[in-house]
Amino acid sequence: MKKPYVLGFYGKSNTGKTTLIIDLIKHFKNKDFNIATVKISDKKISFDNENKDSYNHYKAGSELVVLSSKIETDFLVKHNLSIEYIIKKITNFSEFDLIFIEGANDEKIDKIRIGDIKERKNTIHTYYGDFLRLVNLIIERINMEIE
């Protein structure tokens, strides 16, 4: 199984991280890339709440709760996981060419800085609207991973 290229994005709130990632997903999907995404938040948010059966399963002691419906399957792990562990699990689901991480802070992951924010370790580019340059950089990095 080939290893996906993992690329993180970071910036202040409302600087266009999500919009950029959506544009990149669309661009690379049109070129038949398989893409996975991870959203990391420093806020205490949850998809689950006390009014849901999945929450009651967790409260009863389930370590992993899976919600499967006619339109989607969601896996809920009720504790924080390292990005390395998350990436490992993503690659067990399917083979991906790219994994984009919004809110990336892990020092080992290549990152794109968006806007005027303190640069994080392993930042490979600062994005100021140069979409095609960013696309070409990503393609270069993917090719480096293959070699």
For residue 94, give the CATH number of its domain.
3.40.50.300
% residues pLDDT > 70 (the chain): 95
pLDDT at 146 over 80: no
Residue 12 lies inside a defined structural domain of this protein: yes
Domain presence at residue 122: yes
pLDDT tens digits, 19-72? 999 999 999 999 999 999 999 877 776 666 777 777 788 888 877 888 888 988
What pLDDT is recorded for position 47?
67
Structure tokens at 2: 């080939």
Residues 3-14 have a mean pLDDT of: 94
pLDDT band, residue 101 (cuts 50/70/90) = very high
Contact predicate 99/4, CB 8 Å: yes
* pLDDT at residue 1 in the model: 58
Phi, psi of 115 (to 5 degrees): 80, -165
What residues are paired with 131 via a beta bridge? none
Domain-embedded: residue 53: no
**Average pLDDT, stretch 111-128?**
96
**What pLDDT does 45 receive?**
64
Residue 75 falls inside a structural domain: no
Does residue 74 surpass a pLDDT of 90? Answer: no
Question: Does a structural domain hold residue 115?
Answer: yes
The answer to whether 113 touches 127, Cβ cutoff 8 Å, is yes
Q: Residue 28's domain spans which residues? A: 5-42+80-146
Residue 35 lies in a domain: yes
Per the structure, the count of domains in the chain is 1
Question: Residue 109 in contact with residue 99, Cβ under 8 Å?
Answer: no
Does residue 66 belong to any structural domain of this protein? no
Residue 139 located in a structural domain: yes
- Residue 127 contacts by C-beta under 8 Å, 6 or more apart in sequence? 20, 112, 113, 114, 115, 134
Lowest mean pLDDT of 22-26, 50-54, 97-101, 118-122, name the range: 50-54
Q: Which range has the worst mean pLDDT, 45-49, 52-56, 94-98, 119-123? A: 45-49
Instruction: Name the token pair of 99.
Output: 């994994």
Distance, CA of 119 to CA of 11 (rounded, Å):
9
**pLDDT of amino acid 19:** 95
